[in-house]
A and B are shown apart, each in its own frame.
Chain A
């Protein structure tokens, strides 16, 4: 049987683009030009996603699956990367001329790693993508090398990321031992010669993924890392890496019947419940906006896991919709932070923003009500969609936890709106409000308008999100493909 290996256009373009960027930096440093090249590379890869695949090789083992699920998530990632690119401009951290150029190179590499992960159907490609993402992210986190908290954040990230990668690889190794295949797919435990070993492998892979996704109880690094990095990089950690990992995780489990209780399903179930409650409780008590968003992002991973655990007509479609809604709102929050008050990480700094900068405060409120799931913002429809998926899969317990925890979530999202509406209680000297640069203003406007418009007219996005991921072909077809890498 002949098999094909695809190389998604976006991966190709991002690889070539990063080489161009490297060459440009090597020739002569010029931050503005390097940033522009980086942006153009992202634009080109976005276009590439919607083009027919160029590179199809025959006779090799499949590394990538060029299916709609990969394209959808890759598009989401590249769009987010463009947003982060825009909000990085004029960021006082990046404006340091001596080191600026590499920042955009690292951004391209992170995008590359993430895009690889969305399409990977082989353990090796997945792992390469993951490590490309992690290592370039480490560079971005540590970029502000003169600041002590950046170093601390980078240290924390590298250690935990290393541990989780090791766990993941160990899991892959066990899977390989069981099935003799490096296909990026959860092995069917029932048919494995040693079910316990196979199940062990899956759980190790899952644990590694949860580490990177920062689901509770593997979440401890996220708040510190977000607090320590610059705002655009925090957005990157909170959005791009989550989208990439979540989409890969969905692919890994696409062959597992999640209706049947098993060790791995139970683990996901427990982690989903813990993430929803834990993330919201974590966010509840924060005084720092970035740490609050860390908690919120953990909680949203929990909601996504509810969709993940609800297979059926709505499950994946609702997860895809939710990913888009979550990305838009979270990126919007970070874009406003970066634009208006890059130094003001304290929630108390945001008192009276409605008086000082009404447009920014309004946009921020739009993002917050979207994250809280209140109409007419898109987050409302997204949460509704997930609840529909959960009900149709009879995940009643998960849904009750979702209701409870999003009520907790309401409290801190609304508290932020409240703070922006009220004048400061004490005559504390609030930090200066800055005017965001034109591109960032445009970005915020686009995100806010999209958040409202997709909330009122969700039909289009619902249509895009359906039938993204077909179940993988049966196992005997796979055996041929992986013959080349057998022992």
Chain B
């Protein structure tokens, strides 16, 4: 019963502990503390998964009053979709913490606190079922991320951090208005003031205001995802973040947008979102093609990955709004696979930058002899990104395209064309960075990758392969629970 609040509290408290031990002690102490936190979190999640295995619908619940006068509860519920994304979150937070021992020497305690606080906020977003609480976590995860980018980022960090915050917070306030509108509409209908997701789901869809309320949610999630006209913050932010920040941003933070689209836009407003679907899908397709095109022409390796990331997120949008079960499942698979593969690519980009001192691909080249293990890994993840069959991304994109086919043939053609572009930029990146003659005159081995790097990348590779070969378990798990399981949830909560 207390597993869900623990999932939020544990990273936060662990981060606090890491900060405290880091104030006086050596810079290794916070690293150990936060690693222990992540391991504990994995164990907790494992326990939660095994303990609820085979349960349909909503698997775990927690509820406590928070601001009773306004109908706000501290209410957490977990279904399969939440569980999949929670796993993604802890799996991504592991490399963020593990690999930072080398890069972050100064004020390591604060760094680990901020990373873990972000993780706590993201966990909260994935399980909150009180709309106020959801918004609370939604905003809460931004502030530590802002700090991470601002303190440990690259040259243009100040601008990038502000841009990130203004875009996401500004759109978040629109969502706040939408939440409030939904609550007030509900209160006018029933006379009950509540922020409960399940209660609001009953009336929200019926209101004539539904399209407007949905638009507020949609814009906030579209900015976070990001969807194309709202993506301006992303390349700068990804490129200027420290490696751990880029991994966390692309790996999970963007997925909160996708999660919100499923949980709050499609499931709360099925009718209105069906009307919106053609627009959302077109924007998804435009995003796939446009950002892939931009990715082809980048020189900065991190910006290339950033644009490719936006491009692939278009598939999520496409899948969610395809209106088919298969498309939705594909979107979830794509979220997981994209999180793993993009996260791994950022690890590699961070490593290359660390060792060669540049992210500019025109100054890199021929790194394969200098770092063979790493280059092979890079090849693997580049292949995953371009959608090689047998890897998770392929399954995700394939299912999404199948779902889209039922909605619109034309969009499927264009979306599939994105796969061609993605092979162009993935392979261009490989060629410019790892193949060809070395650019530097004195090409020497750049040192072996550390054991932890290889472990992390190896684990990501194994997971992607598993997802590609046998995605059925995730597919079974990831279907969002229907809203009508509420009774069970209410009972267990009492």
Contacts and interface: CB of A to CB of B under 8 A. Distances in A.
Nearest to B188: A392
A421 B150 contact: yes
A375 B165 contact: no
Contacts of B165: 410, 414
Interface in A381-431: 384-385, 387-388, 391-392, 399-400, 402-404, 406-407, 410-411, 414-415, 417-418, 421-422
Interface residues of A, number: 31
Nearest to B163: A411
A391 B166 contact: no
Nearest to A404: B170
B158 interface: yes
A215 B177 CA distance: 25
Nearest to A403: B173
Contacts of B132: 384
A311 interface: no
Contacts of A400: 177
A369 interface: yes
Contacts of A402: 173
A463 B72 CA distance: 13
A374 B139 contact: yes
Interface in B146-176: 146-147, 150-151, 158, 161-162, 165-166, 169-170, 173-174, 176
Nearest to A463: B69
B436 interface: no
Contacts of A417: 150
A69 B139 CA distance: 32
A162 interface: no
Contacts of A388: 70, 180, 183-184
B9 interface: no
B166 A410 contact: yes
A403 B162 contact: no
A90 interface: no
Contact of A411 (B69, B150, B166, B173): B166
Among A380, A400, A403, A415, the one with the most B-chain Cβ atoms within 10 Å of its Cβ is: A403
A369 B68 CA distance: 25
A344 interface: no
B180 A418 contact: no
Nearest to B212: A396
Contacts of A462: 67, 69-70
B162 A407 contact: no
A258 B444 CA distance: 77
Nearest to A312: B184
B6 interface: no
20 contacts: A375-B136, A376-B136, A387-B173, A388-B70, A388-B180, A391-B180, A391-B183, A391-B184, A392-B187, A399-B177, A403-B170, A403-B173, A410-B169, A418-B161, A418-B162, A421-B150, A422-B158, A459-B68, A462-B69, A463-B69
Interface of A: 369, 374-376, 380, 384-385, 387-388, 391-392, 399-400, 402-404, 406-407, 410-411, 414-415, 417-418, 421-422, 458-459, 462-463, 466
Interface of B: 65-70, 132, 135-136, 139-140, 142-143, 146-147, 150-151, 158, 161-162, 165-166, 169-170, 173-174, 176-177, 180-181, 183-184, 187
